[in-house]
Structure formats: structure tokens, C-alpha cells
Chain A
Amino acid sequence: MTAAEPRPPVRGSYGILPGVVLAGALALFATGTPIPWYLDLAVAVGVVAVATGVRARAPEPYRSFAVAPVLVALVLLAAVSVADPIPELFGAVASLGVLLWLTADPRESPGGVGRAGMSLLLVAFVVVIAWASAIALPSRNSVVGLAGGLLVLSLVVLAVFIGRPEFLDRGRSANP
């Protein structure tokens, strides 16, 4: 698609609520940094507004990268954040907010949040396991928590593959 061509039609709403959730989660995460609160809020709202605008208005090759400003902001905030269980949780929530925001694309069919519910729950489950393990273990070793989360994920993957073997079956059956 060239730039001269008209923009593709909007299929759904602009997804205000996921945008607000993402901005709130970013601002919350930013409270765990030395940055002043009003600057946190401005950065969170500004970054989400830019990303939402790019996603809604930009042509196709650039639309996939609309999330980039949010990711850059997350990386920068994570780099200056204080090592503490609460910023860890808020950081994970902000990342989940990014995934939630991705499902509310105005150029996709409405109801994306509901259809992506299962995969979002799965990600949230892994994050909660990892975070809970990290703060509950006596040594408070995050690496052990992360390993716990990955172990849970492996178990879930194994359960899914056992329940739905067609994921592994790439060949065509001779007798369909």
C-alpha cells in the first residue's frame, strides 16, 4: 500500500478504556522511579496518546510499530526504577496493559479484548506466579521466581499439547 492510497476503514471503536488503563498502569509504574509524579503522568499520557494516534492514522507498514513509543518508555522507566516488590508488580501490570491495549485496535473487529482473554489470562497467570514466588521465597531471589513462572508455563504448554495433539501434527492424514 502506498502513501497515496486512502486509509483502511475503521472496523471498531478507538478503544478508549484500554488506553486509559495503559496510561494509568504506566503512571503507576513510574511512581517507583525518582521522576516527579507530574512528569510521570505527562509521560504516560503523552506516550499512550502518540501510540494511539499512530495506530489509528498511520498507513499499514508503520502501524505495526505504533507500540514502539510505549515500549521505549517502559524500558527507560524500568532502567531507573527502584528494586522493590511493588515496582516489580506495577511494571508487570504495565506490560499487561500494553498487551490489553494491543487488543483494542480500531482497525480490527470489535471485541478483541474478549477474544484475547484466554491468552491474556495465561500471561497474567505466569506473571503472578513469578512475582509471588519472588516475594514469598525466603531468599527473595527473583531468578528463582522467574524459574517458577517458566516452569508453570512449561506445564501449561505440556497440558495444552496433550489436550490438543493437532498442534504437533503437521502432516495431512491419508484418511481424512
Chain B
Amino acid sequence: MSSRSAPVSEIRWTARTVLLLVAGVVLILFAVTTRNPVPVFVGLPFLVAPVAAAMTGPGAPLRASLSWHSEGSETEVRVRGTLRAEPVGRTPDLHLVVERPGDLDGPLEPEIQCGPEGADFTFEWNAPRPTVSVIPSPLVVWQDPTGLVQRVAEGDRPELVVERSPPDLLRLGSVRLERTLPLPGETRSRRIGTSGEFFGIREAQPSDPPRLINWVATARAGRPLANEFELDRTGDVLVLLDTRPTPLGPTVDARLLGVSRAAAIGIADAFLREKDRVGYAAFGEFVDAVPLSSGRHQRARIQQAVLNTRGASVAGVPERCPITLGRYYPPGITVILLSSLVGESATDLVPHLRRRAYPVVVLSPSPLAVRSASFRMDPIDEALAARLEHLERENLLAETWVHAPVVDWDDFWSLANLVRFLRQPQRRRAG
């Protein structure tokens, strides 16, 4: 999270001011040409009003504080916050200028309720696909009630990150992964997921499964309590994002990358919750890697790396990826590759990873789900085209299955297929 300060709060005139001034000048010219004083008196208020509005407005610097957060689940994105000016009496005239990320839909102006402590605002947006988006620091502008004068407010305004991952990922962490680095004196648990010696009782979290709830203690305390164990690390996993350009074009590539970024954060988060070690790498022209680690700091590191990931303009050669990964990650680590598998170089990446002893599971976001029709066809031709595209896609996935298991991801709000597949270790090894 970062924040930026507003520029020095200078007075800005609006389009309405220009309109009034033009009307005032026209009226004065009328008065001069027709030798009639009436237009002078009609135009005088329009010439004086902007100056009066600026004089009675807040002095510089105007300060405003902003706090906000995002709520909702799946497609629903609700951004709530509070805006407060100093002095607070100026709050009703504050306006929020927000740059909405392209992955989200909805109105740019919020619902605002003014109260004595500030203005509570709500943006009701919609995420058509899973996304991880940064809402830049908004601009807070004071505008006089007549709409003639504006002044940019100063103050720290944090950025906001909106994450929407498929909900199935909550169950992904209980998957047993291949262990690559046993620590000295460490013994491997026979149980999957959260296990080990009993450590204590804590407040239950919404994400806790029913098996973890201590029902006796819950009944005694009258609030939900859960057992906590000395958690056992179950394995290491690398989330690898293929950001190379494809023949689909930059628009479809950007949409697929947005979905893949959301999945990458969701997958990493699910495994980190179970104390696994998780790494993240993005392969465009070169490899950007976050080494293996666990814990909240690693989550923040991966989130930042994912947010910084952009689509590459030049595709790197496939051999470069596994060679570079060898510098950061030990062979044998489970790799979840997020790639649309479109283009020859994309399908070539999987065998190169296998040759360097990285067991790969490919999660392939389907371009058919994000591609929009560029021209209109009649329904029969459209159905035929969709069928052909589907067959072509199936053929592509079948070719990749020779080297590694592939999960076709066409319903972006569900990763049930991936979770189901990862829960079957023998199928993973067979791949």
C-alpha cells in the first residue's frame, strides 16, 4: 500500500464559471452597443459570483482525510469509506475523483451520506471476472455549492487493493504437496493440512472447517472457539505466471492476465494459510521471481509482485524459464503454471520445465471465455464457429497433456476442477 499527497490546493475554475463569465461579458457588450443599462445589471452577478465563491471558500491549504476498504464477495465489489474535511463543516462540498480499474464495472460517483463526523461514501461496483486491482489514490476536491470554484484538498489518501478469487480456493490448502526441503529433525505428519500436536484454543475464524471447532469449549464459552495445532508444513509450491504475448492480441491477453493474477494470489494465499512455503514467478521476456517462504510477509511480497506483473511485449525463449527458476527453486517443487497455452512457445514451456525436474500442473484460463465477438454472425454460423474453437482448444489441451496434466479453466468463478485434481496425488504423479 502506498499513498500520495495532493498537489498544492490552488483554486480551479469550472466549465460552469466560464459559461457564466461568457454570459456576463455578452450582456455587458449588449449594454454598450444598445446603450441600455439593463443588461449590465443582469450580467453583474455572473461576473461577481466566481470571485465571491472563491473568497468565501476554504483558505489554503484545505486538508481532508480519507479511509476506505472493500467489501463483498465474488462479483460484488462494494467500496466503503469515510471522507472528512478540516474543518468538518466543509465536508458536504467534498468530491471524490476515483480512477476505477478497468477490471471493474459500475458508476464513478459514489452514494454519499453526510453526518456530523464526516461523509460516508459507497461505490457499488461489479467484477465480471476474478481480479486483483489497485484503485489509485483518489483526488479529493472541494467545490463550492454553486459549482463555480474548486480546490484540491491535501492529505494522505491510501491506495486500495481489490481482490476477487474463486471461492473454491478456500479448500485448496489441504492438498498435500511434494516436499523438497525437509528441515533437520523434522518429521513428516501422516495427516493432511492442519495437524500436529495440540497447541491451544483460539477464537474461531470464518474460514475454519467444522472439524477444527472445539464444540465443547464453544458451548461453555458461548462463542465459537477452535483448536489450534502446532502446524505442520505440508510442502512447497511455485505459482508460475506466463505473461508472454500470444497471437490473441493485447486486449485478450490483458484480460487473461487479470484473471491469472487473481488466481495466482488466491492460490498462493490458500497454501500460505496452511503454512506451506510458496514462491511466485512471472515469465515474460525474463523471469521475475519471489523465492520460497511462508507467512504473512511472504503473502505481502507475492501480492506486490503480482500487482507489479504486466504483460510482456517480447516473448522470452522457453528454455530460459526453467534455467532461471533453477537459481531460485530446488528441482522437484510442485509448479502450478498459469498459461492460456495459446501459441507454440506457450506449449513448449511445459516440456522444458519437466526436463528440469519440475512437476507441472497447468491451470489454463480459456481465451474462449473472454474473447468478444468482433463482428456479427447469424446464430447458426456463430454456433459452428464456437464449436470449432472449442474443438481446437480441446486438441491443444490434449497435446499438452502428453507432458503435464492440464486443468481447463473456462468458468472463472470456479476452480473446483483444479482443487479436485490437486487432491488426487496419484493423478498428479501420473501427469
Contacts and interface: CB of A to CB of B under 8 A. Distances in A.
B59 A157 contact: no
Contact of A64 (B16, B106, B109, B145): B16
A134 B40 CA distance: 11
Contacts of B212: none
A166 B107 contact: no
B307 interface: no
B55 interface: yes
A75 to B, nearest CB: 6
B14 interface: yes
B146 interface: yes
A160 B23 contact: no
Contact of B19 (A32, A65, A111): A65
Nearest to B36: A83
A65 B15 contact: yes
A75 B23 contact: yes
Interface residues of A, number: 69
A52 interface: no
A51 to B, nearest CB: 12
Nearest to A161: B55
A118 B15 contact: no
Given A75-B23, A87-B38, A88-B41, A119 B146 contact: yes
A126 interface: yes
Interface string B27-57: 1001000111111111111101101110110
A78 B60 contact: no
Nearest to A160: B55
A111 B119 CA distance: 14
Nearest to A84: B38
Given A119-B146, A170-B8, A126 B38 contact: no
Contacts of B144: 116, 119
Interface string B66-110: 000000000000000000000000001100000000000011111
B129 to A, nearest CB: 19
A5 B144 CA distance: 26
Contacts of A44: none
B107 A127 contact: no
A92 B108 contact: no
Contacts of A146: 40, 44
A112 B45 contact: no
Given A95-B45, A142-B40, A103 B146 contact: yes
A7 interface: yes
B392 interface: no
Q: Which of B20, B48, B59: most chain A Cβ within 10 A? A: B48
A65 B17 CA distance: 10
A156 to B, nearest CB: 8
Given A5-B107, A123-B49, A92 B42 contact: yes
A29 B93 CA distance: 32
B19 A64 contact: yes
A94 interface: yes
Given A64-B19, A146-B40, A75 B30 contact: yes
Interface in A124-138: 124, 126-127, 130-131, 134
A123 B45 contact: yes
Interface in A95-151: 95-96, 98-99, 102-103, 105, 107-113, 115-116, 118-120, 122-124, 126-127, 130-131, 134, 142, 146, 149
Interface residues of B, number: 49
Contacts, number: 176
Contact of B41 (A65, A109, A131): A131
A82 B35 CA distance: 11
Task: Pick from B20, B30, B44 the residue with the most CB of A within 10 Å.
Answer: B44
Given A95-B46, A167-B59, A67 B145 contact: no
A36 interface: no
Given A5-B107, A92-B44, A71 B19 contact: yes
A74 B41 CA distance: 11
A89 B119 CA distance: 40
Contact of A153 (B48, B110, B111): B48
Given A109-B114, A116-B144, A166-B60, A92 B55 contact: no
A157 B45 contact: no
B85 to A, nearest CB: 12
A35 interface: no
| Chain B CB within 10 Å, residue with most, of A32, A65, A83 | A83
A11 interface: yes
A102 B59 CA distance: 22
B26 interface: yes
3 closest Cβ pairs, A-B complex: A8-B109, A142-B37, A112-B145
Interface of A: 1, 5-9, 11, 29, 32, 60, 64-65, 67-68, 71, 74-75, 78-79, 81-84, 87-89, 91-92, 94-96, 98-99, 102-103, 105, 107-113, 115-116, 118-120, 122-124, 126-127, 130-131, 134, 142, 146, 149, 153, 156-157, 160, 164, 166-167, 169-170, 172
Given A5-B106, A91-B42, A123-B49, 15 more contacts: A64-B147, A67-B16, A67-B20, A75-B23, A75-B26, A78-B30, A82-B38, A84-B38, A88-B38, A92-B41, A111-B92, A116-B146, A119-B52, A119-B55, A167-B60
24 contacts: A7-B107, A8-B107, A9-B111, A65-B15, A71-B19, A71-B46, A78-B36, A78-B42, A81-B38, A91-B39, A95-B43, A95-B44, A98-B46, A105-B147, A108-B92, A119-B144, A122-B56, A123-B45, A127-B41, A130-B44, A146-B44, A169-B60, A170-B60, A172-B8
